[in-house]
Amino acid sequence: MAAAEEIRDEMLEEQIEAGPLPIERLEASGITSADISKLRENGYHTVEAVAMATKKDLIALKGISEAKADKLLAAASKLVPMGFQTATEFHQQRSDIIRVTTGSRELDKLLEGGLETGCITEIFGESRAGKSQFCHQLAVTCQLPIAQGGGEGKCLFIDTEGTFRPERLIAIAERYGLDGQEVLDNVAYARAYNSDHQTQLLMQAAAMMAESRYSLLIVDSATALYRTDYHGRGELAARQMHLGRFLRNLTRLADEFGVAVLVTNQVVAQVDGSMFTADPKKPIGGNIMSHASTVRLQFRKGRGETRICKVYQAPSLAEA
């Protein structure tokens, strides 16, 4: 049993070391260094990023013609497998996925090991439900070795509400016997001031992930700035389109770099005429948010300092 766990840990470490392919690998396929520089300037830092891009996205870049876009996509598709595979092969890949411990034994049990890497996990709830505390907790546990349930990587933290507090990270680090200063050094923090800035920070995040190993990207909260930047039903369509692009970029980063993405979301009272709804609050963002998040967790206050977590949506987890 111990030998099997050892082999699995070695495989996971190899998976981390392999990582995404640097965009410079395209030079061997005849792509010029000038074109690679243009791609990097526009947030494309890996071959995977190019392979996942649409032809329309590439043509929109200054200096990239239709013929160049075709050449880029052809070169990237040769290096990144994007075709069919057997369910057996995919099952094997799923079994090798790294999960980041939440620091709570019961919550880890509920999530079958912790926060899944390579996808978006959304937590929503009213104020003081414990969302930001959960984010701070994960910013530390993601740095733990894989053998201890961590992701063995750094954390990127995008704060849109001004709730980030480094002193909380130091207190959590002490609980795990980690050096507080090292933990702080391994967290890259940025405050987002509007929804456009929030999206721009993802381009910087991609550049940083291409240079160093990150295991977690946190956005606390993903929707707060959209509620203040867009007003009324007249701007609802524009808000949802912008939010959809932001979430698509998050999904791409999760796929490209294999990081766990954790976003928090606010709730709003349901105004549907029903007086007897079990829970009158619902997460904001509508279907755009719902479809982008692989796992959705609802946090709410219990008695005293107790917090309750419910699996609201997940493809492989039982609702609880």
List, for residues 232-275, the tens digit of each pLDDT value: 899 999 999 999 999 999 999 999 999 999 999 998 887 665 55
CA atoms within 13 A on the CB side of 51: 21
Look at residue 47 in the predicted model and tell me its pLDDT: 95
Question: What pLDDT is attached to residue 36?
Answer: 94
The number of beta carbons lying within 10 Å of the beta carbon of residue 29 is: 14
pLDDT over 70 at 3, yes or no: no
Closest CA to 122 of 270, 303, 229, 254: 254
User: Minimal CA–CA distance to 252: which of 31, 244, 139?
Assistant: 244
State the average pLDDT for the chain.
Answer: 90
Does the pLDDT value for residue 28 go beyond 70? Answer: yes
Average pLDDT over residues 26-35: 93
Percent of the chain with pLDDT over 90: 78
Helix or strand holding residue 115 (H, E): strand 115-116
Confidence (pLDDT) at 223: 94
Q: In which band, very low, low, confident or very high, does the pLDDT at 320 lie, cut at 50, 70 and 90? A: low
Of 170-174, 246-250, 306-310, the least confident: 306-310
Question: In the prediction, which pLDDT does 317 show?
Answer: 77
pLDDT for residue 12: 46
51 pLDDT more than 90: yes
85-94: average pLDDT: 93
Q: What is the pLDDT of residue 157?
A: 98
Residue 6: the pLDDT is 57
Give yes or no for a contact between 246 and 289, defined as CB atoms under 8 angstroms apart: no
What is the mean predicted confidence (pLDDT) over 38-47? 93
pLDDT for the residue numbered 15: 46
Q: Cα 123 vs. chain centroid, distance in angstroms?
A: 12
User: In this structure, what are the phi and psi dihedrals at residue 191, rounded to the nearest 5 degrees?
Assistant: -95, 125
DSSP 163: -
Proportion of the chain above pLDDT 70, given as a percent: 91
Q: Is the peptide bond before 29 cis (omega within 30 degrees of 0)?
A: no
Q: What are 128-163's pLDDT values in tens digits?
A: 889 999 999 999 999 999 999 999 999 999 999 999
Place of tokens 């002193």: 167
How confident is residue 17, by pLDDT bands cut at 50, 70 and 90? low
